[in-house]
Amino acid sequence: MYPKKSSTLLRDWDLWGPLVLCVSLALMLQGGSADSKEDGGPQFAEVFVIIWFGAVVITLNSKLLGGTISFFQSLCVLGYCVLPLTVAMLVCRLVLLAGSGTVSFIIRLIVVIAMFAWSTLASTAFLADSQPPHRKALVVYPIFLFYFVISWMILTFTPQ
Amino acid sequence: MAAVDDLKFREFDDAAHLLAANPDATTISIDEPAEAHKNQHSRRQEPGREEDDELLGTDDSDKTELLAGQKKSAPFWTFEYYQTFFDVDTYQVLDRIKGSVFPVPGRNFVRLYVRSNPDLYGPFWICATLVFAIAVSGNLSNFFIHLGRPTYRYVPEFRKVSIAATTIYAYAWLVPLALWGFLMWRNSKVMNIVSYSFLEIVCVYGYSLFVYIPTAILWIIPQKVVRWVLMIFSLCLSGSVLVMTFWPAVRDDNRRIALATVGTIVLLHALLSVGCLAYFFDAPEVDFPAPIIPAHNGTTLITKVK
Protein backbone atom coordinates (compact mmCIF):
# COMPACT_ATOMS: atom_id res chain seq x y z
CA MET A 1 0.00 0.00 0.00
CA TYR A 2 2.67 2.45 0.99
CA PRO A 3 5.28 2.70 -1.74
CA LYS A 4 8.09 1.94 0.65
CA LYS A 5 7.40 -1.77 0.84
CA SER A 6 10.31 -4.02 0.11
CA SER A 7 10.38 -6.46 -2.74
CA THR A 8 10.35 -9.49 -0.44
CA LEU A 9 6.78 -8.71 0.46
CA LEU A 10 6.03 -8.73 -3.23
CA ARG A 11 6.95 -12.38 -3.47
CA ASP A 12 4.29 -13.45 -1.02
CA TRP A 13 1.39 -12.63 -3.25
CA ASP A 14 -2.15 -13.57 -2.44
CA LEU A 15 -5.41 -12.85 -4.17
CA TRP A 16 -7.75 -12.90 -1.16
CA GLY A 17 -7.24 -9.26 -0.37
CA PRO A 18 -7.94 -8.09 -3.91
CA LEU A 19 -10.98 -10.36 -4.10
CA VAL A 20 -12.46 -8.95 -0.91
CA LEU A 21 -11.80 -5.39 -2.04
CA CYS A 22 -13.25 -5.99 -5.48
CA VAL A 23 -16.39 -7.61 -4.14
CA SER A 24 -16.98 -4.86 -1.60
CA LEU A 25 -16.44 -2.14 -4.18
CA ALA A 26 -18.78 -3.82 -6.63
CA LEU A 27 -21.42 -4.25 -3.92
CA MET A 28 -21.20 -0.59 -2.96
CA LEU A 29 -21.48 0.50 -6.57
CA GLN A 30 -24.45 -1.75 -7.05
CA GLY A 31 -26.96 0.33 -5.20
CA GLY A 32 -27.12 3.07 -7.81
CA SER A 33 -30.14 3.13 -10.15
CA ALA A 34 -31.23 -0.33 -9.15
CA ASP A 35 -34.50 0.10 -11.00
CA SER A 36 -34.40 -1.76 -14.25
CA LYS A 37 -33.97 1.26 -16.49
CA GLU A 38 -31.84 0.82 -19.51
CA ASP A 39 -29.25 3.45 -18.75
CA GLY A 40 -28.25 2.80 -15.21
CA GLY A 41 -25.12 2.61 -13.26
CA PRO A 42 -22.75 -0.30 -13.55
CA GLN A 43 -24.07 -3.59 -12.32
CA PHE A 44 -22.16 -5.84 -9.95
CA ALA A 45 -20.98 -8.12 -12.71
CA GLU A 46 -19.80 -5.21 -14.80
CA VAL A 47 -17.69 -3.74 -12.02
CA PHE A 48 -16.25 -7.12 -11.17
CA VAL A 49 -15.39 -7.86 -14.78
CA ILE A 50 -13.88 -4.43 -15.34
CA ILE A 51 -11.62 -4.69 -12.33
CA TRP A 52 -10.38 -8.19 -12.98
CA PHE A 53 -10.22 -7.98 -16.73
CA GLY A 54 -8.53 -4.60 -16.50
CA ALA A 55 -5.96 -5.95 -14.05
CA VAL A 56 -5.24 -8.95 -16.26
CA VAL A 57 -4.85 -6.78 -19.35
CA ILE A 58 -2.48 -4.41 -17.58
CA THR A 59 -0.42 -7.32 -16.30
CA LEU A 60 -0.25 -8.87 -19.76
CA ASN A 61 0.72 -5.50 -21.17
CA SER A 62 3.57 -5.04 -18.74
CA LYS A 63 4.83 -8.55 -19.32
CA LEU A 64 4.67 -8.15 -23.09
CA LEU A 65 6.68 -4.97 -22.83
CA GLY A 66 9.40 -6.93 -21.14
CA GLY A 67 8.62 -6.67 -17.45
CA THR A 68 10.19 -9.01 -14.96
CA ILE A 69 7.33 -9.14 -12.50
CA SER A 70 5.32 -12.34 -12.33
CA PHE A 71 1.69 -12.52 -13.42
CA PHE A 72 0.11 -13.03 -10.01
CA GLN A 73 2.37 -10.60 -8.23
CA SER A 74 1.18 -7.90 -10.55
CA LEU A 75 -2.47 -8.88 -10.12
CA CYS A 76 -1.93 -8.83 -6.36
CA VAL A 77 -0.47 -5.32 -6.43
CA LEU A 78 -3.17 -3.93 -8.69
CA GLY A 79 -5.87 -5.52 -6.58
CA TYR A 80 -4.57 -4.24 -3.29
CA CYS A 81 -4.14 -0.75 -4.68
CA VAL A 82 -7.89 -0.61 -5.21
CA LEU A 83 -8.15 -0.15 -1.44
CA PRO A 84 -7.91 3.67 -1.48
CA LEU A 85 -10.69 3.79 -4.05
CA THR A 86 -12.85 1.48 -1.94
CA VAL A 87 -12.33 3.86 0.95
CA ALA A 88 -13.30 6.73 -1.34
CA MET A 89 -16.47 4.87 -2.30
CA LEU A 90 -17.36 4.42 1.34
CA VAL A 91 -16.81 8.11 2.02
CA CYS A 92 -18.88 9.03 -1.02
CA ARG A 93 -21.80 6.94 0.11
CA LEU A 94 -21.67 8.50 3.56
CA VAL A 95 -21.51 12.00 2.08
CA LEU A 96 -24.42 11.22 -0.22
CA LEU A 97 -26.48 10.15 2.79
CA ALA A 98 -26.15 13.70 4.02
CA GLY A 99 -27.35 15.22 0.77
CA SER A 100 -26.53 15.38 -2.91
CA GLY A 101 -25.99 19.03 -3.68
CA THR A 102 -23.03 20.88 -5.05
CA VAL A 103 -21.11 20.89 -1.77
CA SER A 104 -21.34 17.16 -1.45
CA PHE A 105 -20.20 16.84 -5.05
CA ILE A 106 -17.13 18.95 -4.39
CA ILE A 107 -16.26 16.93 -1.31
CA ARG A 108 -16.66 13.71 -3.25
CA LEU A 109 -14.59 15.07 -6.11
CA ILE A 110 -11.71 15.99 -3.83
CA VAL A 111 -11.80 12.67 -2.01
CA VAL A 112 -11.93 10.65 -5.21
CA ILE A 113 -9.12 12.59 -6.83
CA ALA A 114 -6.92 12.16 -3.77
CA MET A 115 -7.56 8.44 -3.57
CA PHE A 116 -7.07 8.02 -7.31
CA ALA A 117 -3.68 9.72 -7.07
CA TRP A 118 -2.74 7.50 -4.13
CA SER A 119 -3.76 4.30 -5.92
CA THR A 120 -1.93 5.19 -9.09
CA LEU A 121 1.24 6.26 -7.30
CA ALA A 122 1.26 3.19 -5.09
CA SER A 123 0.88 0.69 -7.89
CA THR A 124 3.29 2.60 -10.12
CA ALA A 125 5.91 2.45 -7.39
CA PHE A 126 5.67 -1.33 -7.41
CA LEU A 127 5.25 -2.03 -11.08
CA ALA A 128 7.44 0.54 -12.74
CA ASP A 129 10.60 -0.79 -11.17
CA SER A 130 10.29 -4.09 -12.94
CA GLN A 131 10.26 -2.49 -16.38
CA PRO A 132 13.06 -1.67 -18.77
CA PRO A 133 13.89 2.03 -18.39
CA HIS A 134 12.65 3.31 -21.75
CA ARG A 135 9.20 1.84 -21.33
CA LYS A 136 8.14 2.97 -17.91
CA ALA A 137 5.66 5.48 -19.28
CA LEU A 138 4.15 2.82 -21.54
CA VAL A 139 3.43 0.68 -18.50
CA VAL A 140 2.24 3.47 -16.23
CA TYR A 141 -0.32 4.86 -18.65
CA PRO A 142 -2.68 1.83 -18.63
CA ILE A 143 -2.56 1.80 -14.84
CA PHE A 144 -3.56 5.45 -14.88
CA LEU A 145 -6.43 4.67 -17.27
CA PHE A 146 -7.60 1.73 -15.16
CA TYR A 147 -7.84 3.69 -11.93
CA PHE A 148 -9.33 6.64 -13.79
CA VAL A 149 -12.21 4.48 -14.99
CA ILE A 150 -12.80 3.12 -11.50
CA SER A 151 -12.70 6.63 -10.07
CA TRP A 152 -15.18 7.77 -12.69
CA MET A 153 -17.56 4.99 -11.71
CA ILE A 154 -17.25 6.03 -8.07
CA LEU A 155 -17.72 9.71 -8.76
CA THR A 156 -20.78 9.27 -10.95
CA PHE A 157 -22.48 6.98 -8.51
CA THR A 158 -25.97 8.25 -7.81
CA PRO A 159 -28.14 6.60 -5.24
CA GLN A 160 -31.62 5.56 -6.21
CA MET B 1 28.62 -22.90 -48.61
CA ALA B 2 29.34 -19.70 -46.81
CA ALA B 3 26.51 -17.98 -48.71
CA VAL B 4 23.90 -20.53 -47.63
CA ASP B 5 25.06 -20.32 -44.05
CA ASP B 6 24.83 -16.58 -44.10
CA LEU B 7 21.22 -16.68 -45.27
CA LYS B 8 20.15 -18.67 -42.24
CA PHE B 9 19.27 -16.78 -39.14
CA ARG B 10 21.50 -17.58 -36.20
CA GLU B 11 22.53 -16.08 -32.94
CA PHE B 12 24.90 -13.16 -33.16
CA ASP B 13 28.42 -14.51 -33.08
CA ASP B 14 31.04 -11.96 -32.37
CA ALA B 15 31.72 -9.86 -35.38
CA ALA B 16 35.21 -11.14 -35.84
CA HIS B 17 34.04 -14.70 -36.29
CA LEU B 18 31.42 -13.72 -38.85
CA LEU B 19 33.79 -11.48 -40.72
CA ALA B 20 36.28 -14.29 -40.90
CA ALA B 21 33.64 -16.49 -42.51
CA ASN B 22 32.62 -13.92 -45.10
CA PRO B 23 34.78 -10.82 -45.33
CA ASP B 24 32.42 -9.09 -47.74
CA ALA B 25 29.37 -9.14 -45.52
CA THR B 26 27.98 -5.90 -44.18
CA THR B 27 28.05 -5.83 -40.45
CA ILE B 28 25.67 -3.61 -38.56
CA SER B 29 26.90 -3.05 -35.05
CA ILE B 30 24.75 -1.41 -32.46
CA ASP B 31 25.94 0.40 -29.37
CA GLU B 32 29.39 1.05 -30.61
CA PRO B 33 30.30 4.71 -30.15
CA ALA B 34 33.02 4.60 -32.78
CA GLU B 35 30.63 3.19 -35.34
CA ALA B 36 27.94 5.72 -34.50
CA HIS B 37 30.43 8.51 -34.84
CA LYS B 38 31.42 7.26 -38.26
CA ASN B 39 27.80 7.08 -39.33
CA GLN B 40 27.20 10.60 -38.18
CA HIS B 41 30.20 11.77 -40.10
CA SER B 42 29.06 10.19 -43.33
CA ARG B 43 25.57 11.60 -42.81
CA ARG B 44 26.92 15.09 -42.62
CA GLN B 45 28.79 14.68 -45.87
CA GLU B 46 25.77 14.00 -48.00
CA PRO B 47 22.71 15.70 -46.60
CA GLY B 48 20.90 15.83 -49.94
CA ARG B 49 20.99 12.11 -50.43
CA GLU B 50 19.89 11.52 -46.87
CA GLU B 51 16.82 13.64 -47.41
CA ASP B 52 15.80 11.72 -50.50
CA ASP B 53 16.31 8.46 -48.71
CA GLU B 54 14.26 9.65 -45.81
CA LEU B 55 11.43 10.59 -48.12
CA LEU B 56 11.55 7.25 -49.89
CA GLY B 57 12.51 5.46 -46.74
CA THR B 58 14.46 2.99 -48.82
CA ASP B 59 17.87 3.20 -47.21
CA ASP B 60 16.94 2.48 -43.62
CA SER B 61 14.07 0.26 -44.51
CA ASP B 62 16.22 -2.10 -46.53
CA LYS B 63 18.51 -2.76 -43.61
CA THR B 64 15.72 -2.90 -41.11
CA GLU B 65 13.69 -5.13 -43.38
CA LEU B 66 16.46 -7.67 -43.28
CA LEU B 67 16.37 -7.56 -39.53
CA ALA B 68 12.60 -7.54 -39.44
CA GLY B 69 12.39 -10.62 -41.58
CA GLN B 70 14.49 -12.46 -39.05
CA LYS B 71 12.77 -11.12 -35.97
CA LYS B 72 9.54 -13.02 -35.73
CA SER B 73 11.01 -16.48 -35.62
CA ALA B 74 9.22 -17.77 -32.54
CA PRO B 75 6.24 -20.06 -33.14
CA PHE B 76 2.91 -18.37 -32.62
CA TRP B 77 1.88 -20.31 -29.58
CA THR B 78 4.73 -19.02 -27.45
CA PHE B 79 4.71 -15.87 -25.40
CA GLU B 80 7.83 -14.56 -27.13
CA TYR B 81 6.00 -14.36 -30.41
CA TYR B 82 3.58 -11.83 -29.00
CA GLN B 83 6.35 -9.97 -27.26
CA THR B 84 7.75 -9.05 -30.63
CA PHE B 85 4.65 -6.96 -31.23
CA PHE B 86 5.32 -4.90 -28.15
CA ASP B 87 8.91 -4.15 -28.90
CA VAL B 88 8.58 -0.39 -28.75
CA ASP B 89 10.01 2.24 -26.49
CA THR B 90 8.20 5.25 -25.15
CA TYR B 91 9.73 7.65 -27.61
CA GLN B 92 8.74 5.45 -30.55
CA VAL B 93 5.12 5.40 -29.48
CA LEU B 94 5.18 9.15 -28.98
CA ASP B 95 6.76 9.67 -32.39
CA ARG B 96 4.09 7.56 -34.05
CA ILE B 97 1.36 9.49 -32.30
CA LYS B 98 2.89 12.76 -33.41
CA GLY B 99 3.12 11.44 -36.94
CA SER B 100 -0.53 10.62 -36.95
CA VAL B 101 -1.61 14.01 -35.65
CA PHE B 102 0.59 16.12 -37.90
CA PRO B 103 0.50 14.40 -41.27
CA VAL B 104 3.01 15.85 -43.67
CA PRO B 105 1.97 15.62 -47.30
CA GLY B 106 4.12 13.18 -49.18
CA ARG B 107 5.32 11.31 -46.15
CA ASN B 108 3.99 7.85 -45.69
CA PHE B 109 3.21 7.04 -42.08
CA VAL B 110 3.98 3.37 -42.41
CA ARG B 111 7.18 3.84 -44.25
CA LEU B 112 8.45 6.50 -41.96
CA TYR B 113 7.54 5.22 -38.55
CA VAL B 114 6.32 1.70 -38.64
CA ARG B 115 8.12 -0.06 -41.43
CA SER B 116 10.27 -2.41 -39.48
CA ASN B 117 8.33 -2.64 -36.30
CA PRO B 118 4.55 -2.70 -36.27
CA ASP B 119 3.38 -2.72 -32.71
CA LEU B 120 0.11 -3.62 -31.08
CA TYR B 121 0.58 -1.44 -28.03
CA GLY B 122 -0.51 1.76 -29.76
CA PRO B 123 -3.64 0.50 -31.49
CA PHE B 124 -4.87 -1.39 -28.42
CA TRP B 125 -4.43 1.35 -25.87
CA ILE B 126 -5.49 4.15 -28.17
CA CYS B 127 -8.74 2.28 -28.82
CA ALA B 128 -9.23 1.68 -25.10
CA THR B 129 -8.64 5.34 -24.32
CA LEU B 130 -10.97 6.38 -27.11
CA VAL B 131 -13.74 4.13 -25.81
CA PHE B 132 -13.57 5.65 -22.39
CA ALA B 133 -13.06 9.17 -23.68
CA ILE B 134 -16.21 8.95 -25.79
CA ALA B 135 -18.26 7.37 -23.02
CA VAL B 136 -17.13 9.81 -20.35
CA SER B 137 -17.39 12.87 -22.58
CA GLY B 138 -20.82 11.86 -23.82
CA ASN B 139 -22.00 11.41 -20.29
CA LEU B 140 -20.55 14.76 -19.21
CA SER B 141 -21.96 16.64 -22.17
CA ASN B 142 -25.43 15.23 -21.61
CA PHE B 143 -25.18 16.21 -17.99
CA PHE B 144 -24.30 19.80 -18.82
CA ILE B 145 -26.94 20.10 -21.52
CA HIS B 146 -29.72 18.93 -19.28
CA LEU B 147 -28.44 20.69 -16.19
CA GLY B 148 -30.97 22.80 -14.44
CA ARG B 149 -33.94 21.13 -16.01
CA PRO B 150 -36.17 20.08 -13.15
CA THR B 151 -37.32 16.76 -14.54
CA TYR B 152 -33.87 15.50 -15.53
CA ARG B 153 -32.28 12.80 -13.45
CA TYR B 154 -28.60 12.06 -13.99
CA VAL B 155 -27.75 8.51 -14.92
CA PRO B 156 -24.24 7.27 -15.61
CA GLU B 157 -25.33 5.45 -18.81
CA PHE B 158 -22.91 2.64 -18.28
CA ARG B 159 -24.41 0.49 -21.02
CA LYS B 160 -22.96 2.82 -23.57
CA VAL B 161 -19.41 1.91 -22.61
CA SER B 162 -19.82 -1.64 -23.86
CA ILE B 163 -21.43 -0.41 -27.06
CA ALA B 164 -18.61 2.05 -27.61
CA ALA B 165 -16.04 -0.64 -26.94
CA THR B 166 -17.58 -3.07 -29.39
CA THR B 167 -17.90 -0.47 -32.12
CA ILE B 168 -14.44 0.96 -31.87
CA TYR B 169 -12.60 -2.30 -31.49
CA ALA B 170 -14.57 -3.83 -34.34
CA TYR B 171 -13.70 -0.88 -36.54
CA ALA B 172 -10.03 -0.95 -35.61
CA TRP B 173 -9.62 -4.66 -36.31
CA LEU B 174 -12.22 -5.80 -38.83
CA VAL B 175 -11.80 -2.96 -41.30
CA PRO B 176 -8.02 -3.50 -41.50
CA LEU B 177 -8.70 -7.21 -41.98
CA ALA B 178 -11.05 -6.51 -44.84
CA LEU B 179 -8.70 -3.97 -46.35
CA TRP B 180 -5.75 -6.32 -46.07
CA GLY B 181 -7.70 -9.11 -47.73
CA PHE B 182 -8.74 -6.76 -50.51
CA LEU B 183 -5.19 -5.54 -51.07
CA MET B 184 -3.89 -9.09 -51.16
CA TRP B 185 -6.48 -9.98 -53.72
CA ARG B 186 -5.61 -7.00 -55.89
CA ASN B 187 -1.92 -7.78 -55.49
CA SER B 188 -2.45 -11.15 -57.03
CA LYS B 189 -3.94 -9.47 -60.08
CA VAL B 190 -1.86 -6.33 -60.37
CA MET B 191 1.73 -6.24 -59.23
CA ASN B 192 1.93 -3.39 -56.75
CA ILE B 193 5.20 -1.94 -55.60
CA VAL B 194 3.92 -1.26 -52.14
CA SER B 195 2.22 -3.85 -50.01
CA TYR B 196 1.50 -3.86 -46.33
CA SER B 197 1.28 -6.64 -43.84
CA PHE B 198 -1.85 -7.02 -41.76
CA LEU B 199 -0.17 -5.71 -38.62
CA GLU B 200 1.02 -2.58 -40.38
CA ILE B 201 -2.52 -1.81 -41.49
CA VAL B 202 -3.81 -2.36 -37.96
CA CYS B 203 -1.05 -0.09 -36.73
CA VAL B 204 -1.98 2.73 -39.11
CA TYR B 205 -5.66 2.49 -38.25
CA GLY B 206 -4.94 2.42 -34.54
CA TYR B 207 -2.69 5.45 -34.56
CA SER B 208 -4.98 7.35 -36.90
CA LEU B 209 -7.74 7.08 -34.29
CA PHE B 210 -5.62 9.01 -31.82
CA VAL B 211 -6.78 12.43 -33.01
CA TYR B 212 -10.34 11.50 -32.04
CA ILE B 213 -9.42 11.42 -28.35
CA PRO B 214 -9.01 15.18 -27.92
CA THR B 215 -11.89 15.64 -30.34
CA ALA B 216 -14.16 13.55 -28.14
CA ILE B 217 -13.17 15.56 -25.10
CA LEU B 218 -13.80 18.82 -26.94
CA TRP B 219 -17.19 17.56 -28.05
CA ILE B 220 -18.38 18.26 -24.52
CA ILE B 221 -18.86 21.85 -25.68
CA PRO B 222 -22.58 22.00 -26.41
CA GLN B 223 -22.46 24.02 -29.61
CA LYS B 224 -23.53 22.30 -32.76
CA VAL B 225 -21.28 24.34 -35.04
CA VAL B 226 -18.26 23.73 -32.85
CA ARG B 227 -18.90 20.01 -32.85
CA TRP B 228 -19.23 19.76 -36.59
CA VAL B 229 -16.13 21.87 -37.20
CA LEU B 230 -14.19 19.68 -34.80
CA MET B 231 -15.41 16.56 -36.48
CA ILE B 232 -14.51 17.71 -39.97
CA PHE B 233 -11.11 18.84 -38.78
CA SER B 234 -10.27 15.56 -37.09
CA LEU B 235 -11.68 13.62 -40.02
CA CYS B 236 -9.35 15.50 -42.34
CA LEU B 237 -6.34 14.84 -40.15
CA SER B 238 -6.82 11.15 -39.58
CA GLY B 239 -8.30 10.59 -43.01
CA SER B 240 -5.25 12.14 -44.61
CA VAL B 241 -2.98 9.78 -42.71
CA LEU B 242 -4.96 6.84 -44.04
CA VAL B 243 -5.18 8.20 -47.58
CA MET B 244 -1.48 8.96 -47.79
CA THR B 245 -0.70 5.50 -46.53
CA PHE B 246 -2.95 3.59 -48.87
CA TRP B 247 -2.77 5.66 -52.01
CA PRO B 248 0.68 4.29 -53.00
CA ALA B 249 -0.64 0.80 -52.49
CA VAL B 250 -3.53 1.12 -54.90
CA ARG B 251 -2.48 3.74 -57.41
CA ASP B 252 -0.97 1.19 -59.78
CA ASP B 253 -4.30 -0.48 -60.06
CA ASN B 254 -7.23 0.32 -62.27
CA ARG B 255 -8.08 3.98 -61.73
CA ARG B 256 -11.64 3.46 -60.68
CA ILE B 257 -10.84 0.68 -58.25
CA ALA B 258 -8.11 2.78 -56.67
CA LEU B 259 -10.43 5.73 -56.20
CA ALA B 260 -13.21 3.49 -54.92
CA THR B 261 -10.89 1.91 -52.36
CA VAL B 262 -9.62 5.19 -51.02
CA GLY B 263 -13.14 6.59 -51.05
CA THR B 264 -14.43 3.66 -49.04
CA ILE B 265 -11.68 4.07 -46.46
CA VAL B 266 -12.57 7.72 -45.96
CA LEU B 267 -16.29 6.99 -45.94
CA LEU B 268 -16.01 4.34 -43.23
CA HIS B 269 -13.89 6.67 -41.17
CA ALA B 270 -16.46 9.43 -41.51
CA LEU B 271 -19.28 7.06 -40.61
CA LEU B 272 -17.48 6.13 -37.42
CA SER B 273 -17.13 9.70 -36.25
CA VAL B 274 -20.63 10.78 -37.28
CA GLY B 275 -22.09 7.71 -35.61
CA CYS B 276 -20.22 8.36 -32.39
CA LEU B 277 -21.27 11.98 -32.34
CA ALA B 278 -24.91 11.15 -32.97
CA TYR B 279 -25.21 8.27 -30.53
CA PHE B 280 -23.19 9.37 -27.55
CA PHE B 281 -23.78 13.09 -27.55
CA ASP B 282 -27.25 14.54 -27.27
CA ALA B 283 -28.15 17.44 -29.47
CA PRO B 284 -27.40 20.75 -27.79
CA GLU B 285 -29.41 23.95 -27.60
CA VAL B 286 -32.76 22.30 -27.37
CA ASP B 287 -35.33 24.41 -25.62
CA PHE B 288 -38.06 22.41 -24.04
CA PRO B 289 -40.85 23.82 -21.92
CA ALA B 290 -40.61 22.47 -18.38
CA PRO B 291 -43.34 19.80 -18.28
CA ILE B 292 -41.92 17.71 -21.11
CA ILE B 293 -40.02 14.71 -19.85
CA PRO B 294 -36.64 14.66 -21.58
CA ALA B 295 -35.85 11.41 -23.31
CA HIS B 296 -32.70 9.57 -22.35
CA ASN B 297 -32.38 8.28 -25.85
CA GLY B 298 -30.41 10.78 -27.88
CA THR B 299 -32.10 10.08 -31.18
CA THR B 300 -35.47 11.36 -30.04
CA LEU B 301 -34.00 14.74 -29.23
CA ILE B 302 -32.24 14.93 -32.55
CA THR B 303 -35.37 14.29 -34.54
CA LYS B 304 -37.17 16.96 -32.61
CA VAL B 305 -34.49 19.50 -33.43
CA LYS B 306 -34.58 18.65 -37.09
Q: Is residue B43 part of a domain?
A: no
The CA angle A26-A24-B125, to the nearest 5 degrees, is 45
Query: Are residues B121 and A61, on separate chains, in Cβ contact within 8 Å?
Result: yes
Residue among B82, B86, B296 minimizing CB distance to A39: B296
Query: Does B287 have pLDDT greater than 80?
Result: no
**Total domains, chain B:** 1
Separation of alpha carbons A57 and A36, rounded Å: 30
Q: Residue B146 in contact with residue B222, Cβ under 8 Å?
A: no
The CA angle B225-B228-B229, to the nearest 5 degrees, is 85
DSSP character for A6? -
Q: What is the mean pLDDT of residues B201-217?
A: 88
Query: Does B9 have pLDDT greater than 50?
Result: yes
Q: Is residue B29 part of a domain?
A: no
| B190/chain A closest Cα distance in angstroms | 38
Name the CA radius of gyration of chain A, rounded: 16
Query: Does B42 have pLDDT greater than 70?
Result: no
Give the residue on B whose Cα is nearest the Cα of A153. B156
Q: Is residue B297 part of a domain?
A: no
Mean pLDDT of chain A: 78
Residue among A135, A152, A158 minimizing CB distance to B89: A135
pTM of the model: 0.72
Q: Domain range spanning residue B242?
A: 79-282
Q: Residue B195 in contact with residue B187, Cβ under 8 Å?
A: yes
Q: Is residue B54 part of a domain?
A: no
pLDDT digits (tens, 9 = 90+) for A60-90: 888 888 777 788 888 888 888 888 888 888 8
- pLDDT for res B219: 87
Query: Are residues A39 and B136, on separate chains, in Cβ contact within 8 Å?
Result: no
Query: Does A21 have pLDDT greater than 80?
Result: yes
Could you tell me how many CB contacts below 8 A there are between chain A and chain B? 72
Which residue has better confidence, A88 or B293? A88
Q: Is residue B63 part of a domain?
A: no
pLDDT band, residue B54 (cuts 50/70/90) = very low
- pLDDT for res B97: 81
Residue among A41, A138, A153 minimizing CB distance to B93: A138
A56 contact residues in B (CB cutoff 8 A):
none
A136 contact residues in B (CB cutoff 8 A):
90
Q: Name which of B213, B121, B133, B207 is nearest A137 in CA terms.
A: B121
Q: Within 10 Å of residue A15's Cβ, how many Cβ atoms? A: 14
CA distances from A109 to A116, A117, A124, A126, A157 (A): 10, 12, 22, 26, 12
Separation of alpha carbons B142 and B137, rounded Å: 8
Separation of alpha carbons A65 and A60, rounded Å: 9
Q: Is residue B1 part of a domain?
A: no
- pLDDT for res B129: 92
ipTM over 0.85: no
Q: Name which of A86, A56, A74 is nearest A153 in CA terms.
A: A86
Q: Of chain B residues 132-191, which have a CB less than 8 A from chain A?
A: 132, 136, 139, 153-160
- pLDDT for res B25: 52
Q: Residue A74 in contact with residue A105, Cβ under 8 Å?
A: no
Q: Is residue B35 part of a domain?
A: no
The 3-state secondary structure of chain B reads: CHHHHHHCCCCCCCHHHHHHHCCCCCCCCCCCHHHHHHHHHHHHHCHHHHHHHHHHCHHHHHHHHHHHHHHCCCCCCCHHHHHHHHCCCHHHHHHHHHHHHCCCCCCCHHHHHHCCCCCCHHHHHHHHHHHHHHHHHHHHHHHHHCCCCCCCCCCCCCHHHHHHHHHHHHHHHHHHHHHHHHHHHHHHHCCCCCCCCHHHHHHHHHHHHHHHHHHHHHCCCCCHHHHHHHHHHHHHHHHHHHHHHHHHHHCCCCHHHHHHHHHHHHHHHHHHHHHHHHHHCCCCCCCCCCCCCCCCCHHHHHHHHC
pLDDT digits (tens, 9 = 90+) for A101-121: 778 888 888 988 999 998 888
* Mutate which: A104, A138, A157, vs B, most B CBs within 10 A: A138
Residue among B90, B128, B156 minimizing CB distance to A134: B90
